[in-house]
Chain A
Amino acid sequence: MTNPEPPVSPARRTRAASTQLDFLRRMLGQPKAIVGLVVLAVFFLVAIFAPLIAPVDPSRYVGRPHEFPSAAHWLGTTGQGQDVFAQLVWGARVSLFIGFSVGALTTLLGLVVGMIAGYMPGVIDGLLNMFTNVFLLIPGLPLLITLASFLPPGTVTVILVLTFTGWAWPARVFRSQVLSLREKDFVSASVVGGEGLMRIVFVEILPNMLSLVVSSFFGAVTYAIASDAGLAFLGFENVNTVSWGTMLYWASNSSALLQEAWWTFLPPGLCIALVAFATTMLIYAMDEVTNPRLRSEKEIDRVLRKYHVTAKRSTPVARKPLA
């Protein structure tokens, strides 16, 4: 049951409020967004200042295998006698780099394919769409594994492989959005005004997709970080690079569970989970901003409690004016 239009005339603000800036501002004010950003910021800072935080070569053998955490080695040592803390800090660089590059690349590729397919009618759309569908249908993990086994192991390979399997979903999503935006009157108005194709797509339509692009990006980052960990764990990456995923691989290889050496797999697992958590929080924050009902219901419940209203499903009666 929706209310009739509330009678608030267009806001008269002294300075122009762009819908996008306003959107970003509101999103960043959400507690969920703040949590997500803080967590990501911490990880980024750790990755950037790795030489200062853990000035130890993560691949060097610095102690006995599976040493319990101590003052010398804050998170103990791995099955090969390497410093776990150092690996965690330096591994952050690789994992974050892979995660965010893949996020950016899949979003970009998805945008290009999706927007062209969505805006160009007929044959071009049909071909691109078919192409996208093929990628969507192929099972992800087997494809990942197959590709990873053929290509030389390395960070670039991982990025390529994950982008290759990950671009189709955002492409599909962006295409749908463009398809519906294309029918809007303001696009027809631009056409009638004589606007060229490129400007219509990138200046008129794209800005209307901001929230979708941002949430897609963060979704892709989540996907990339988790998939990277999975691939590494299965041994399909260069296991001599230090990343959170390869830490898990080596932990498994060294029978860490049997050895009860929790400090070798818990920290990297936790970091992966935390980054995924942070990006998910950002997506939730976006949802709340784009769907105002989610936000306002909490605020309203708070106010209503002051007025002791009885009817739960019907319009509340307060019998005194709102402050």
Chain B
Amino acid sequence: MRLKKKSLRLNFEKFSYEITNLKMSILRIVKQVKKEFRLLWADKFNIMLAIVMPPLIIVMLGFTMTDDSNQMQSIPCIVVSYDSNTFINENDLVESKLDHYVIPYLNAVNKSDLLDLVRFYNATEEIYAMEQARNALVSGSIKVILSIPVAFTEMLEWGLPGLIDCILDASNILYIQQSLNAVYDSIKIFINDTNLTPQFEVHGFEEFTIPEGYSSSFNSSIVMALSFMVFGIAFVLSILVIVQEKPIARLLLTPLKRSEILTSKYIAYMLVLLLQVTLLVITSLSMGLYLAGSILDLFIALFIIGFSGLALGVFISSQSKTKTQANQLFLAAYLVIILLSGIFIPIENMPSFLQFFAYILPLSHGDPMIRGIITKGQPVIGMHFFWLFIISLILVIISFVIFRRRKYEV
């Protein structure tokens, strides 16, 4: 009985000792966090850049993006018609010069909002029509040459497909599809106006569309901009946190533990990230962001993206011996991360080994996660979230291990 009491008392003493230790530890961390904020505040220009610039970029995006810029810009084109030339039927050698579908097609091109007819050439009268059109394509004054072949009207008259040759400027990959869409629009108008039946009627409905009154190009652009900025700024803000702090060695003479130093740094920079994300969400919503999901989901998604940047930054800082080394690693990591994030080259077009590598990188998950929340109302918790969380956790653990084992000359 007495032994039992003694053991209970010992346990209680041990427990109260642990509690006191924990209290002391929390107190030290709180003080250290305050010190971190004082350090941050000392460089006001730096903190201003981190807090003010991201929302400012969103505001600039809001002003420079309009729906017109993405959808309604008409593609300059030249139509060259060979339809008035003599067509000789290979089967019966009968000659024909039918061309009565040319004018309806030209009218359709004029009617289309997506095409801007710069010039029409009748190749029967102007033998260098195609050369002139090609020169215009080379100079960049037009983006498409629409060539109506010699048998266009004849084919339609005989119940065969009428083909329009479409020569596109493919030097800019972004505009190939846009040009094809514009030409297809003119064909649709042509078919409707000339009442060519039977046709396939394609009735399209859009799901997850951005409602009227919201700028669709701003909404689709902000997805990339948000993940890009939150990750990048959290990353760059933290690359020097350990490596540049001179009093760390002296701090180690105090009762402050290494884990407490690093925890306080994480807490301080997470609070900065929290403020940054809050400002970004508020600015985006006030600039006309259409959010199908919840604000909380968007907030958590941005926070986890930023946290992965923060974890990577602290990791680099903890294992760099000098500021220069930290800067070098930052540059190398950042260039690789943005170039393999899928923004410039779709990840699915990369070879499999590179795809594997790209999916490990945090920014490859930011874009699809935010897009899902903003446009489809998906919840934040999903594969991308867990992946970012795991990457961040691994980086945090490694940076703690490195920092604990690091030698400082006191």
A binds B: no
